[in-house]
Structure formats: structure tokens, C-alpha cells
Amino acid sequence: MIERTLSLVKPDGVEQNCIGEVIRRFEAKGLRVVALKLIRIEQKQAEAFYAVHRERPFYRSLTAFLSSGPVVAMVIEGEGAIPLVRQIMGATDPAKAEPGTIRRDLATGIERNVVHGSDGTETAATEIAFFFNALEIIR
Ligand code: UDP
Ligand code: MG
């Protein structure tokens, strides 16, 4: 099934000049970028984006991190895009991520893990709409 998913290059990834490397890895697996922008995410927006983690001990630090610098937001489209992007990203903790994944290769910690990808159909729809309107998704 052709799916769309929301991916972010987080502030650490942008700071490390890894925007191109993240996109290259998606494209190399046949995925397409159908929307893309460089943005700053305000603290309040970061709190809304990660609201599902509101009760977790890392919530404050995570939302401060996400709003600490520029972020690339993009919509990625392709066959099985939601699980495929998650596979290319690797596990949340880079120490547990498979070799050859973005997080294993580029991340510096469990929080500073370079990339975000939606974890399911409903979250993908919600997260895409969080950053993009219909006219910004180009196919
Ligand atoms: N995170 C963290 N500590 C943890 C778990 C997660 O700082 O113990 C951060 C990390 O940046 C992660 C984000 O919170 O990417 C969202 O967590 P989630 O469990 O949704 O991981 P993901 O879906 O990004 O793999
Ligand atoms: Mg998640």
C-alpha cells in the first residue's frame, strides 16, 4: 500500500549537517519527498507534537530539545512508507539500533537521535496535518 508518513530531521541532525544524508537514505529505498520545509518549532508546538509523551520523565527535555534549533519537516511517500521509514531510522536508542540505520550511524544519544518518523497510520495523518496543509503536499 502506498502510504505517507511525517519525518523530521531533528535539531541535532540539522546541526550535524545530516539533512542530505537522511533524505539520501529515504530516497535510496525508493521513497519520495512530497513536502519539505526548514522550520523552528516553538516550545508550545513541541509540547503539542509530543503530547502523547506528556507523562514521561523525558518530556520537558525532549520538547526543549526539539525547539532548540532548526528542524526539517517532510512528508515521505511510498510503498509501506510508515514502517519503511521506521526501519531506515532504527530503534529509538541508537545503542540498540541495527547497524546501517540512521540512528545507529548518526545519533549521539537516546534523545538526540537525529530523526522522527510517524509510528502508524493515524499518527502519520495527524502529524502530517500538524506541519503541512493539502496545497503543500506535491505529487
Ligand atoms: N526519548 C528520550 N528518552 C527516552 C525515550 C525517548 O529522550 O527514554 C526521546 C527520543 O528523542 C525519541 C522521542 O523521545 O525519539 C520520542 O520517543 P518515542 O518513544 O516516540 O521514540 P521514536 O518513535 O522517536 O523512536
Ligand atoms: Mg514515536
Active site residue ranges: 116
| Mean pLDDT, rounded, of the chain | 98
Ligand 1 center–CA 139 separation, angstroms: 30
Ligand 1 center–CA 110 separation, angstroms: 7
The pLDDT of 38-58, averaged and rounded, is 98
What does the pLDDT read at residue 74? 98
pLDDT band of residue 113 (cuts 50, 70, 90) is: very high
The pLDDT of 101-114, averaged and rounded, is 98
Listed by start position, the domains of the chain span 2-131
What does the pLDDT read at residue 70? 99
The pLDDT of 106-117, averaged and rounded, is 98
For the Cβ of 93 lying below 6 angstroms from any atom of ligand 1, the answer is: no
What does the pLDDT read at residue 38? 99
The superfamily in CATH containing domain 2-131 is Nucleoside diphosphate kinase-like domain (3.30.70.141)
For the Cβ of 7 lying below 6 angstroms from any atom of ligand 1, the answer is: no
What does the pLDDT read at residue 136? 98
For the Cβ of 113 lying below 6 angstroms from any atom of ligand 1, the answer is: yes
What does the pLDDT read at residue 8? 99
The pLDDT of 61-80, averaged and rounded, is 98
pLDDT band of residue 58 (cuts 50, 70, 90) is: very high
pLDDT > 90 fraction of the chain, expressed in percent and rounded: 99
Mutate which of 113, 114, 119, 127 to test ligand 1's pocket (most atoms within 8 Å of Cβ)? 113
* Position in ligand 1 atom list of the atom nearest CA 50: 16
The pLDDT of 31-56, averaged and rounded, is 98
Q: How many CA atoms lie within 13 A of 105 on its CB side?
A: 12
